[in-house]
Amino acid sequence: MIHIVPYWRRYQKLILIALCALILGVVSDLLQPTIVSRIIDDGVTEGDLQTVLRLGGLMLAVTAFGAVCAIVRCIISSKVSQQFGADLRLDLFAKINRFSVAALGKTETAGLITRMTNDTSQLVNFTNSLMRVFVRAPALLIGAIIMTVLLNPRLTLILVVVVPIVALLMYISLKVTLPMFAKMQKALDKNNSVIREYLSGVRVVKAYNTFDQEVERFNASNIELVDISVKAQRTVGIFFPIISFTVNMGLVATLWFARGWIDGANMQVGQIVAFLNYMTQISMALRMIFMVYQSFIRAKASGERVAEILQEADVSEMLGEVYHVPPDFNNAIRFHNVSFTYPGGGDEPALQNISFTLPAGETLGILGSTGSGKTSLVQLIPGFYMPDAGQVFIGNNATAEMDPDMLRSAIAYVAQQNTIFHGTIAENIRMGKADATQEELEEAAKAAGAYEFIAAYPDGFESMVGQKGVNISGGQKQRIGIARALVRKAPILILDDSVSAVDVETEANIMKSIWQISPVPTCVVITQRISSVMNLQHILVLEDGKVAGFGNHDHLMEHCQIYREMYAVK
Residue 420 and residue 479 in contact, taking contact as beta carbons nearer than 8 Å: no
Q: Helices (H), strands (E): how many in the chain?
A: 21, 12
Amino acid at 509: N
CATH code (residue 191): 1.20.1560.10
Q: What is the pLDDT of residue 380?
A: 92
How do 351-358 and 333-340 pair as beta strands? antiparallel
Domain annotation covers residue 256: yes
Nearest to 120 by CA among 188, 198, 211: 188
To 10 degrees, the CA torsion angle through 228, 229, 230, 235?
A: 90
Count of alpha carbons within 13 angstroms of residue 103, beta-carbon side? 20
The pLDDT averaged over each successive group of 10 residues in the chain (570 residues) is 72 86 88 84 73 85 90 88 88 80 68 80 83 80 84 73 79 77 77 75 70 83 86 78 79 70 60 79 78 75 80 57 50 92 79 92 89 90 89 88 81 83 89 89 89 89 80 83 88 83 73 75 86 87 92 90 84
Q: What is the pLDDT of residue 339?
A: 94
Cα separation, 541 vs 519, in Å, equals 27
Q: What is the pLDDT of residue 322?
A: 43
Domain annotation covers residue 325: no
For the chain, the residue count is 570
Q: What is the pLDDT of residue 340?
A: 92
Domain annotation covers residue 396: no
> Per-residue pLDDT tens for 32-75?
888 888 888 777 766 777 877 888 888 899 889 989 998 998 88
Cα separation, 54 vs 40, in Å, equals 13
Distance of CA 506 to the CA centre of its chain: 41
Q: What is the pLDDT of residue 393?
A: 92
Alpha-helical (H) ranges within 39-135 are 49-97, 101-104, 109-114, 120-129
Decide: helix, strand or coil at residue 539: strand
Q: What is the pLDDT of residue 323?
A: 41
Radius of gyration of the chain (CA): 35
Cα separation, 56 vs 380, in Å, equals 79
Domain annotation covers residue 326: no
Residue 404 and residue 356 in contact, taking contact as beta carbons nearer than 8 Å: no
Cα separation, 243 vs 250, in Å, equals 11
How many domains does the chain fold into?
1
What b-and-e string marks burial along 344-366, b requiring 16 or more CB atoms within 10 Å of the CB? eeeeebbbbebebebebebbbbb
Decide: helix, strand or coil at residue 366: strand
Nearest to 402 by CA among 318, 509, 276, 490: 318
Domain annotation covers residue 49: yes
Residue 493 parent element (H or E): strand 492-496
Decide: helix, strand or coil at residue 317: helix
How do 546-551 and 538-543 pair as beta strands? antiparallel
Domain annotation covers residue 528: no
Domain annotation covers residue 570: no
Nearest to 120 by CA among 73, 88, 94: 88
Cα separation, 446 vs 452, in Å, equals 8
Q: What is the pLDDT of residue 497?
A: 81
Amino acid at 531: S
Neighbouring-strand partners of residue 413: 494
Domain annotation covers residue 398: no
Angle at 566 between CA 560 and CA 570, to 5 degrees: 145
For 416-420, which contacts have Cβ atoms below 8 Å and span 24 or more sequence positions?
416/375, 416/496, 416/497, 416/498, 416/526, 418/477, 418/478, 418/480, 418/481, 418/498, 419/468, 419/481, 420/465, 420/468, 420/469, 420/472, 420/477, 420/480, 420/481
CB proximity list for 416: less than 8 A, separation 6 or greater: 375, 496, 497, 498, 526
How do 363-368 and 464-465 pair as beta strands? unpaired
Distance of CA 246 to the CA centre of its chain: 41
> Per-residue pLDDT tens for 477-530?
888 988 998 998 888 999 888 776 667 777 777 777 777 776 778 899 988 878
Q: Give me the domain span that covers residue 255.
A: 5-312
